[in-house]
Amino acid sequence: MKYPRTYHLPYSPGTTNDDKKLKDDWFDHFKNQEIVITEKLDGENTAFTSQDVYARSHGTPTRTPWSRNLWDDDGLYWKVKPLLQDNEIVFGENLYGEHSIHYDKLPSYWFMFAQYDEISNQWASWDFVKYWAEILGVPTVPELWRGKIESEKQLESLVNSLANEPSLFGNNREGVVIRTTKTFPNNAFPHNVCKWVRPNHIQTDEHWTRTWTKATLI
């Protein structure tokens, strides 16, 4: 299963023609819910299963040069594969191939942000994601804020403030992702996860894979 499309907040400035924004009643699903806001990293969404590692297409395992850190003989995937259950998919952002943001304080190439159970069709809670990441020996995407939101204005102010701070890994922040901390079913994904993306986040008309360079770690 591919990672679902994440809808933009109504005031997210970095939308493109094929992006979708949340509908007018979107905040009803987040009000008084505990949420977590994480940094949106500028990388490639990749998935680990008990079978292999996948990127854009979940029909064919990824073997691209910019994901070599995952599938090579000593790649990260082979270290976590023995711990993965047949029914689970672990999602993370891979920063091995540099996109439009040059991070100069990267402690790792891969950051986990979600876990999905294909039997129950449930997305794991944020606390379980952090727990499972620790078991797998991988970092999660940076957690910026956690708590309950009572009004849409409160959330908008918080998101705009956090989104415009520098990245924890140096340079600009691509944006932020907001999700409820609870477990939720796949058909409720748009009611539990959304994002804010900075304007002009794609800095070149040429696709990054044509001119990609390897990111550097601290």
* pTM, two decimal places: 0.94
pLDDT tens string 33-73: 999 999 999 999 999 999 999 997 778 999 999 999 999 99
pLDDT tens string 126-157: 999 999 999 999 999 999 999 999 999 999 99
- Cβ-contact 110, 69 below 8 angstroms: yes
- Residue 124, classed as helix, strand or coil, is coil
Domain 7-199 has what CATH class? alpha beta
Sign (positive or negative) of CA dihedral 179, 182, 183, 185: negative
- The domain spans of the chain are 7-199
